Structure 1
Amino acid sequence: MPPTQVTTYTHGMGENAFEVPLDEADGHLPDVISAAAERNAIAYLTDHGRRVAAIVPADEAWYWTSGWQSAEAEADADTREGRVRTFDSTDDMFAEIDAVRGDDPR
């Protein structure tokens, strides 16, 4: 008997992701992995509706590292607390970066 097609046991989601209950993924994990890679999406494995694991496309795994997630949380906190600057142009932004680094060519 051929394996069940992934699309028959995954549940579409608004984000670029889909969920697969563990009991439905049992024996079909290669299909779930292939579907995640083909869709360039995250496949969340669920247990009674609770996400317990994620299959992430390899070229996006860097984003989910603890270091990157920590930096994302820090950036979110900076935004909430108003510790941000806006610039009229990218040239102005890079000039500010150069000045802060001490690389100001002026």
Structure 2
Amino acid sequence: MRNKGQITVPSEVRTALGAEEGDDLLFYTDEQGRIIISRSLLIPPEQAWFWSERWQNLERKTQADIDAGRVKSFDTLTNALDYLATVKGSDAKD
């Protein structure tokens, strides 16, 4: 340990954590006195909703639909609204 309490984290630990230069790391102890190290992922409060489990599940489902070609595109808002009017209440999933 250096005089200001700095330590060198071994490369295999940095790799396991996915940590890079400049990342913040959290150090804490568990009930057995073991030291636990984890990356500190700072998410601005106004963006926390995006990283919620629910939203990430929706993102994955949406990406799966895009990857499978289950999307439509429209040249105008009117065309999009007309399409929505035709499928309203139907079970159409194309």
Using structure 1 for the length normalisation, give the TM-score.
0.46
Higher relative contact order (CA 8 A, sep 6+): 1
Q: Is the 8 Å Cα contact of residues 24 and 40 (structure 2) preserved in structure 1?
A: no
Name the Cα RMSD after superposition: 2.6
Give the number of the structure whose residues are more often strand, by fraction. 1
Q: Flag the structure with larger Rg.
A: 2
Picking from 56, 60, 63, the partner of 2:43 is 56
Aligned match of 1:91: 78
Give the number of the structure whose residues are more often helix, by fraction. 1
Aligned match of 2:25: 22
Structure 1 residues 82 and 21: alpha-carbon distance in aligned structure 2, compared to 1, 3 A threshold: same
Extract unaligned runs of 5+ from structure 1: 1-17, 27-46
Task: Report the AA paired with residue 79 of structure 2.
Answer: D
Q: Is the 8 Å Cα contact of residues 23 and 40 (structure 2) preserved in structure 1?
A: no
Aligned residues: 60
Identity of aligned residues (%): 28
Aligned match of 1:75: 62
Distance (whole Å) between structure 2 residues aligned to residue 21 and residue 58 of structure 1: 18
Structure 1 residues 97 and 53: alpha-carbon distance in aligned structure 2, compared to 1, 3 A threshold: farther
Which 4+ runs in 1 deviate beyond 6 A?
none
Structure 1 residues 52 and 84: alpha-carbon distance in aligned structure 2, compared to 1, 3 A threshold: same
